[in-house]
Amino acid sequence: MAKRSAASSWQKYWQRAWAQALRPGGMSAKAKKTSARVVKATQVAAAAASAARRLAKPVVEGARHAVKGGLSRPSPPPPGPGDWLTGVAAGAGGMRAWQLYRPPGTRFGERLPVLVMLHGCGQDAAGFARSCRMNKGAQREHSLVLYPEQSRLANGQRCWNWFETESGHAQAEAALILQAVDQVCLLHGGDRRRVAVAGLSAGASMAALLASRYPTRFAAVAMCAGVAPGLAHSTATALRAMRGRGRSAPPPAERQDWPPLLVIQGQADRVVVPANGRQAAEQWAQATGAMATAPRRTQRGQRHPATVTDYRREGRTLVSLVEVEQLGHAWSGGPASLAFSDPKGPDASSLVWRFVAKCWAEGQ
């Protein structure tokens, strides 16, 4: 005998229930009790389905947007030897594409350090790779460079939402970036013990947030024209912080084991005003128990001069602040042909590589 389907059984049940309800006298007490249980179970199931849809919405929208092109179509890879690989990280914060540069000569099974580079507003992974030229340094340091890419679905200007801490969007994006790091370490030979993160502008602010939230996962962090963690929690407060009017973050109750920080800040920056660089350095120094040393002025050739202040603890530099004269809101030392680059500034790429490579060596 063929089994009745569940749909058929429910249909017959409701037909009988309505027939009883329409008869004089209505439903029996037993039918009313059964019907009430069914209605309650249906309501519970509907509430669970609604909650599941809310939780899945960021991932579903990210996937739909990826199909339509919301996760940017792969840009042409930067020139030069090596491999340019693509991946996607997904989670409660949606989906984010990432690009990975792997230097030539990488052997199967080899574990390489990973430098995470976070672009600024109006940029994408490939464009930022051309601007900062970190792939060239990766060939010399024999390291991987990971370029996570913000989605226009999450921010129309492709800014990382470092300031949306009140809504939780910033934390969700930080978790997605960390997931991309985990993928690279698992699938492409990244060394989890030697991971550093750097960024420009919104990417710098996100880098600092990421390192302060997951300090044991990063050996070093570098900021170029960014805002320190804790100074903003919304769009309005982010704009105030960028203009130097952000409320100071409360100092940690105990000394934090945050990774060493490099801050590069233009003294002619009108987007993220110069005070932010020193504020980030001093916040990090206070959190790590480092003390400022005497500042020194440096200049290479005809490039913009800079004042360097190191903050040390027990003989180790935990914070280095590089304040560059005449540098605006740009990647210092980048090519003149690209936006947000200033070829007249000190070579930020070399400064970052030198800083993180030293931190990797100290951590071994």
Number of domains in the chain: 1
> Quick check: 143 and 101 in contact, CB under 8 A?
no
What residue spans of 189-334 are helical by DSSP H? 202-213, 235-242, 275-288
69-81: per-residue pLDDT in tens?
344 454 677 888 9
Asked whether residue 176 is domain-assigned, the answer is yes
Q: How far is CA 63 from CA 96, 205, 266, 354, in A?
A: 10, 26, 38, 38
Asked whether residue 364 is domain-assigned, the answer is no
Domain that holds residue 93: 68-263+271-291
Whole-prediction pTM: 0.78
pLDDT score at 36: 62
Asked whether residue 171 is domain-assigned, the answer is yes
Asked whether residue 236 is domain-assigned, the answer is yes
Residue 311 pLDDT > 60, yes or no?
A: yes
Q: How many CA atoms lie within 13 A of 222 on its CB side?
A: 29
Asked whether residue 42 is domain-assigned, the answer is no
Residue 3 CB neighbours (<10 A):
7
Asked whether residue 81 is domain-assigned, the answer is yes
Q: pLDDT category, 25, cuts 50, 70, 90?
A: low
CA dist 98 and 175 (Å) reads 14
Asked whether residue 296 is domain-assigned, the answer is no
236 or 22: which carries more pLDDT confidence?
Answer: 236
CATH number of the domain bearing residue 125: 3.40.50.1820
Token pair 């059964």 in the structure block, residue: 34
User: What's CA 28's distance to the chain center, in Å?
Assistant: 61
* Token code pair at residue 117: 């580079």
Asked whether residue 179 is domain-assigned, the answer is yes
Mean pLDDT to the nearest integer, 242-260:
76
Across the chain, what does the average pLDDT equal? 84
* Token code pair at residue 283: 């916040």
CA dist 354 and 121 (Å) reads 26
